[in-house]
A and B are shown apart, each in its own frame.
Chain A
Amino acid sequence: MAEIFTSAFWAEYGGILAEGVWDTLMMTAVSTFLAYLIGLPMGVVMILTQPHGIRPNRVVNAVLGWIINIGRSLPFIILMIALFPFTKFVVGTKIGIKGAVVPLVVSAAPFIARMVETSLSEVDAGVVEAAQSMGASNFQIVWKVYLPEAKPSLVLGGSVVLIAIVGYTAMAGTMGAGGLGDLAIRYGHQRNVPSVMWITVIFLIILVQVVQSVFSRLSVRIDKRLK
C-alpha cells in the first residue's frame, strides 16, 4: 500500500488511473442521460395511466409495469451478456464505453421509471385536480404541475440512479467496458497490484459521497416547501 505514495507508482499507473476515472465518469454521464430520456417518460406514463391518474389506461399501465419489472429483475451482468448481440447491432461493438452504454441504459431506464413514478406519486392529487379544474390539458399538467412540483424528489432520485449506474459501470468494466472496474480486475486481481484496486475503491467512495451530498443539498435548496 505504501507504494501509492511513491512517484514511481504514479509514473507507472497514473496515466491508466486517470483514463479509468475519465472512462467511468463518461460512461456514467452518457448512460444516465440516455436512460433518463427513456425512463422519465416511462415513469410519467405510469403515473398518468394508473387507475386514478389523469388518463387511466389499464392495459398500458399493466404492460409497461411488466416491462419495467422484467428489466429490473435481471441482474445487470446477465443482462449485459444477454444483450451482446443487440449491443453489437446498435453501436457496432460490444466493448469499450460505447459497448457498455447500451446495457447500462437498458438496465437503468426501468429503474429510473420506478424512481420517477415514486416521485410523481408524491405530488398532491388536489393540486392536479385544481389544474384540471382550470382547464389544463394533460400535457400541461405534466409539464407545469407534475414535473416542477416533484422536482426536489426527482433530484434526490437522480442521485440514487447515478450511484447505481456507477456501480453498474464497474461491473461492465469487468466485461471489457474499461473504466475503474476494468482496472480493479486487471491490476488488482489478474496482475496482483492491489494498490491500483484500492485507489479505484477510494475514488469510487469519494465519487459516491460527492454525488450524494451535492444532490441532497441541491434538492433541499430548490424545495420551496421548506422555506
Chain B
Amino acid sequence: MSESIIQIQHLTKNFGGGPGEVHALADINLDIRQGEIFGIIGLSGAGKSTLVRCMNLLERPTSGTVLVDGKDMTALSEGELRLQRRKITMIFQSFNLLMQRTCLKNVCFPMEIAGVPKAQARKRAGELLELVGLADKANAYPAQLSGGQKQRVAVARALATDPKVLLCDEATSALDPTTTVSILELLKDLNAKLGVTVVVITHQMSVIEAICSRVAILDGGSVAELGPVQDIFSNPSTDAARRLVYPGGASVSQYPAGTRAARVSFNGGTVNQPLIASLAIDCGVKVSILGADTRSVGGKATGTMLLSLPDDPNEAARALSYIRSQPYITVEEVEYRG
C-alpha cells in the first residue's frame, strides 16, 4: 500500500454563525494515497466543493486537520501556504482561464507567480501544451477555444508547478459526453505518466467509473461510504450510495430481495443504439428496465440504467456478455437488494 498524500482528520466546516449556521462538512476523515485517482461523489449541496476547497485551504476548516504531503495546511503561515499550494493545484468546472492572455501565457501564469525565469517558463509551457495535445493553440486566446480545449489548457496550467495533487472540481460537468471522455482519458494518462495524484469531484457516476480507483460518497456533509469503486458500485450499502448507484425511478422495495440486476452505463455512444431491442433479437433475452437516468446530449447517450436480468443464470450471463461487447457501454452485475 502506497503512502498517503492527503490526510484529512476530523474535518468540519460551518458557514456563518448563529441560528443560520450551515454545517457543510461534519467530521470528515479521508486518506488519499499517492498516485491514485480518488473520486468524491455526492448530490448537489453534499459538500463536495467545500471539501475540495478545504484541501488547498481556499476554505479554512472550522476544525480538524488537512495534511498535504505531510504538512498541516491549517498551521501554515500565509507565505508557506502559498508555496504549498504549488503542490496541490486545481481545475474548475468553468475553466477559469485568464481571458486576456494567450494559452501559452495562461500556462506560464503559475510559473510567473513562482518566479520561474521567463524563457524557462515559456519553454515548459510549450511542453505542457504539447502534453495536453494543444501545441498548435499556444498563441490562441481562450475565447477562440472549445470547452474541452479550454479545460486542456487549464490542466496544462495546473501542471506547470509540478504538483503532487491535481484537484478537479466538476471539471467535466460543463462538457459534452465525448469531450468528457477525452478529458477523463487525459487525466488518467497524466496520472499514469507523471504519477500525479488526482482527486475528482463529481455528481456523475460515469465519471467515477471511468477513471477512479477509490471513491468516497459524500452525503449531507459526511462520508457515507468509502472504498474501491467496484465494491461500492456492486454493493452499495447506504441509502446515499444507492441513490447514486441505482438510477432514478428504481424503487427499491418494488422487487424481491436478490433480484439479479445489471447496471449499464452509457458513456457517450450514439443515442439510437437500441440496446434493449437488440438484446431480445440478437440473444433472445428479455430484460426489463428497473430504472433509468439517461440523457442525450448532442446525440450522445450518457447515464445509467438498471436492468433486471433473467433468473436463468445462462441467459443472464449471455445478456451480460452481449451488453459488454457494445461500444461505449459498460455493465456490471449488482445484487439488487431491498
Contacts and interface: CB of A to CB of B under 8 A. Distances in A.
A136 B56 contact: no
B100 A224 contact: yes
Contact of B96 (A127, A222, A226): A127
Given A144-B113, A226-B143, A133 B58 contact: yes
Interface in B94-121: 94, 96-102, 109-110, 112-114
Nearest to A145: B98
A134 to B, nearest CB: 4
Contacts of A223: 100
Given A129-B58, A148-B101, A227-B143, A136 B94 contact: no
Interface residues of A, number: 25
Interface in A195-218: none
Given A140-B113, A144-B109, A144-B112, A133 B90 contact: yes
A75 interface: no
B161 interface: yes
A131 interface: yes
B85 A224 contact: no
Given A224-B100, A224-B141, A226-B143, A130 B86 contact: no
B99 A224 contact: yes
A130 B101 contact: no
Given A130-B90, A135-B86, A124 B100 contact: no
B322 interface: no
Interface of B: 56, 58, 81-86, 89-90, 92, 94, 96-102, 109-110, 112-114, 141-144, 157-158, 161
16 contacts: A126-B92, A127-B97, A129-B92, A129-B96, A131-B113, A132-B85, A134-B86, A134-B110, A134-B158, A134-B161, A135-B86, A148-B101, A149-B99, A224-B102, A224-B141, A227-B143
